[in-house]
Amino acid sequence: MSRVGRPSPVRAVLFDVDDTLYDHSYASRQAMLEVRRRAPDLATVPLEEMVRRGEEILREVHLDLVLTGRTSAEEARTLRMSRLAEALGRPMGPERARELAKHRQEAYLRHERAVPGSVELLRELRSRGLHLGIVSNNRVAEQARKIRAVGLEPFLQSRTLAEEAGILKPDPSIFHLAVKRTGITREACVMVGDSWQDDVIGARAAGVDVVWFNRSGAPPGPEPSVRELASFVPTERALQIILEGPERAARPAPARATHRPMTRVAGNRNPEPKSGR
């Protein structure tokens, strides 16, 4: 990709929330262990399969039912437990599904934490005078609770969530809105997120520089020019990759960028696959 002008110093960093700043995967895994402890019949299924199927069902229910206003978060948790049991070949009645879902949610909240190194990274970025914000496909209240619970709230100056924006990542429009809220030009902004589809493709389509936070060790993405960060520890290494990467020049939208219409989000609702926990 050709160079357009000189690189702009980074003045704002936008972050995804779940599995970028907030450690959803850790809390979710611990919650699944609690389910196995209370349901020995489910414990005969390999843990990794339970976690994988649980996340698939979470995404389906969260996007299709919760964010469209067709069911509440509490009802969705029971439905997810019921669907998980059925998918694993251990169907259960609604009362048992509701009880297990309750214990799962309690365990999830007991084990919530920030992604290792994220608090230190945000603190250092703020000490350098950078604007920090979040861009998330989740609900306003849920993400506010999460960032407050794990100590991230003091470092964030702006929040752009699909629920209030009525737009889902990877639609470039939500990144345009997030950049506008920083008051800084997009050439001086960087997006950091763990989802190649939602964060990397979406930010690039919006002309925003992006760092792929790939702490899960997923195979390299199809665009080798995208910077990759496996951990926020040590802080100095993370800062170097986020702030001292290649030019943040304007770039055309890739043809593969996906548009997610606002009609998916009922009543200006938002989405995020890793949520509802």
Q: Quote the pLDDT of residue 68.
A: 74
In terms of pLDDT, which residue wins out, 41 or 251? 41
Residue 7 forms part of a structural domain: no
Pair (172, 262) in one structural domain: yes
| Helix 73-87 × helix 47-61 angle, to 10° | 140
Residue owning tokens 């925003």: 208
Residue 166 forms part of a structural domain: yes
Average of per-residue pLDDT values in the chain: 88
**Residues paired with 136 in a beta bridge:** 161
Residue 205 tokens, joined: 């389509």
Q: What percentage of the chain has pLDDT greater than the value 90?
A: 75
85-91: Cβ within 8 A, 24+ apart? 85/42, 87/53, 87/57, 88/42, 88/45, 88/49, 88/50, 88/53, 90/39, 90/41, 90/42, 90/45
Q: Give the structural domain span for 200.
A: 12-22+114-268
Pair (132, 238) in one structural domain: yes
Over the stretch 19-35, which tens digit does the pLDDT of each residue have? 999 999 999 999 999 99
Instruction: Choose one of 110, 126, 149: the last residue of a domain.
Output: 110
User: What CATH number did the domain enclosing 57 receive?
Assistant: 1.10.150
First to last CA, the chain: 40
Nearest to 83 by CA among 70, 97, 73, 65: 97
Pair (201, 159) in one structural domain: yes
Over the stretch 93-118, which tens digit does the pLDDT of each residue have? 999 999 999 999 999 999 999 999 99
Q: Count how many domains the chain has.
A: 2
What is d(CA 140, CA 257) in angstroms, rounded to the nearest whole number? 25
Over the stretch 202-217, which tens digit does the pLDDT of each residue have? 999 999 999 999 999 9
